[in-house]
Structures are given as structure tokens and as C-alpha cells.
Amino acid sequence: MSKMSDGVFPFQIGNFECIAINDGTFVYTGESFFINAPKKRMDQVLREHNIQSGEITTPWPSLFINTGKHKVLVDTGAGAGTVPSAGKLLEKLKNEGIEVKDIDTVILTHGHPDHIGGTLDTRGKPAFPNARYVMLKDEWDFWMSEPNFMHLKLGDELKQFILMSARKNLPPIQEQLVLIDHETEILPGIVAIAAPGHTPGHMALAISSGGEQLLHISDTVLYPIHMEQPDWYPAFDFAPEQASVTKHKLLNRAAAEKVMVFAFHFPFPCLGYVIEKGKAWQWQPI
């Protein structure tokens, strides 16, 4: 029986048992998701998608994967104290019979607050004490330097929040951290794909078992409209031109291989297929 209403959605990829677990929801403005879109055209497209208010509500989900040998968590949600709906990940894992001590691998697709906010527990210690945390080296190096994203058209308060989240959540995991380069097999059946642009070391994943595959594209695109309007990009993309190259590469791959896709901010459970449509694509939710 589906538990969609609780933000929990179990599914299978071959022999891998997977669960999409929503840690909370957040309301974004159309302007922040489509910063370079002509206003009239954007309003029209939003209405076509039954978004009347110009506001887009999206989930902040983690993906749990039980490979049989390994228990893996991809991203840790936003954690408590960000928005009232967030910070429920550990409780939801426990409800599924998953203890934090049993998770042996935590993969962080990138360093934004909604992906790393649940990395630590209430004492500031790694929330998954027995896990190795995995991140692309380019991403770690970016956040551990003096990251400059002042060119992004985001409010100063939001920029500060993003920076402080990385500085709070990332250094305490360093002793458990494994930094990888592109196209590395993290575990049998889980391969990292460099997907830069949204952030410098943004990561996608190819997850495969028993002849089935899931392409986890994280924040390569933030909403189905980004597939239909491929020239529109969000204010959160660090390097929009590079993000566009990544988008074309991953969406063309998903369409050509007809694989299921997990897209982080898409309507929960964030699963579907990518279909080529002219010079763009269309999202087909499961």
C-alpha cells in the first residue's frame, strides 16, 4: 500500500529496495525558478501547469537504497530548524525500520541546505555514525574555499544562509568523508556522474540492478517546466551555461535509454520518465 500522503514511497530497482522519503516542502517563486524567463510568458506557462499564484511548492526528498549488502542514503533533507515541515527524515526512516546506525553510506549530491541540512544530529555530530559520507571532490573544495556566488540573483540573507549551512554541516563529517572524482563506482550498482553547473561539483547517480536503472539527476532541473523550456534556468544555478550542457547530456541520456528518473524537486515521489519533445523534453510521472 502506498504511503504517499506521509511522504514515503517504496519502489524497486531490480533487486534494490528503494524508498523516496520527503523531509519537507518549500514554496519557491516562479521568478526564482525561471529567472531569465519573460514575465508574461512565464505566467502563461505556470497557468498551463495549474500554478495560479506564481508560487511553486516542491518537496525536499532523500532516497534510501537497500542493495542487499549496503544501506545507502542519498541526501539528508533540510534538517530541523529550516522550515516547519522539515526535519522529519530520521523519524520517517525509523518508521520504516531503518536505524541511523545501519546506514553505511551517505551520498551528498551537492552542498545546498536542502540536501545537507540533516547531515548532523542535534549535538552537531554526524547523524549517521557508522556511514562514510561521499561527495565529489570539486564540491567539497568549493564549499571549503571562500565560495563566491555573489553573482547569483538571490537575496543577501539567502546567500548567507546557504553559506552558513555548508560551513555548519560539512566540516564535522570530514573524518568520515570520502571524496571522489567523476564517474566513480561508489558501490556495486551505484555510479557517480559529474553533473556540474547547478554547483561546481553537483553529482548525479546511475543506480542499476537486475537489468533496471534509475537515473538520479538531483537538481539538474528543478521543475518539469525546465524540461519544456530548456533555455529557462533558476536563480540557484551557479554556472547556467555549464548547467545547460549537463541538462542536455542527462536528459538526452534518460530519454534515449528510457530509464526511470528521480528528480529531487519534482512533485513527490519525484519519479518518472523523460520523453523527447521537439528540441526539448517532457516529464511523464510514474
What separation, in Å, do the N-terminal and C-terminal C-alpha atoms of the chain show?
A: 16
Over residues 124-147, the mean pLDDT reads: 96
Rounded to the nearest integer, the mean pLDDT of the chain is 95
DSSP for 9-46, written as a single string: EEEEETTEEEEEEEEEEEEEEHHHHSTTS-HHHHHHHH
Residues 6+ apart with CB under 8 A from 269: 4, 9, 11, 20, 61, 286
Sheet holding 185-187, edge to edge: 185-187, 190-194, 203-209, 212-218, 260-263, 271-277, 280-285
Over residues 58-79, the mean pLDDT reads: 96
**CATH of the domain spanning 4-285:** 3.60.15.10
pLDDT band at 84 (very low <50, low <70, confident <90, very high): confident
The yes-or-no verdict on residue 82 having pLDDT over 80 is no
Predicted pLDDT at 86? 84
Give 278's Cβ-side CA count (13 Å radius). Answer: 5
Predicted pLDDT at 1? 37
Predicted pLDDT at 87? 86
Cell readout for 188 is 556495486
pLDDT band at 214 (very low <50, low <70, confident <90, very high): very high
Kindly give the pairing relationship between strand 203-209 and strand 190-194: antiparallel
Residues 6+ apart with CB under 8 A from 162: 112, 113, 149, 154
pLDDT tens per residue across span 174-193: 999 999 988 899 999 999 99
88 compared with 174, residue with greater pLDDT? 174
Predicted pLDDT at 108? 98
Largest CA distance in the chain: 52
Q: In this prediction, what percent of the chain has a pLDDT beyond 70? A: 98
Q: What is the pTM of this model?
A: 0.96
Rounded distance, CA 226 to CA 140, Å? 27
The yes-or-no verdict on residue 48 having pLDDT over 80 is yes
The neighbour count for residue 231, using CB atoms within 10 Å, is: 12
Rounded distance, CA 178 to CA 173, Å? 10
Predicted pLDDT at 171? 97
Over residues 112-116, the mean pLDDT reads: 97
Predicted pLDDT at 182? 81
The yes-or-no verdict on residue 249 having pLDDT over 90 is yes
Predicted pLDDT at 5? 67
Q: Phi and psi for 243 in degrees, rounded to 5?
A: -60, -35
Domain definitions of the chain by residue range: 4-285
Q: Is the peptide bond before 269 cis (omega within 30 degrees of 0)?
A: yes
User: Could you tell me the CA-to-CA distances from 40 to 9, 47, 145, 247 in Å, in that order?
Assistant: 36, 11, 40, 25
Predicted pLDDT at 3? 66
Over residues 58-69, the mean pLDDT reads: 97
Over residues 110-134, the mean pLDDT reads: 96
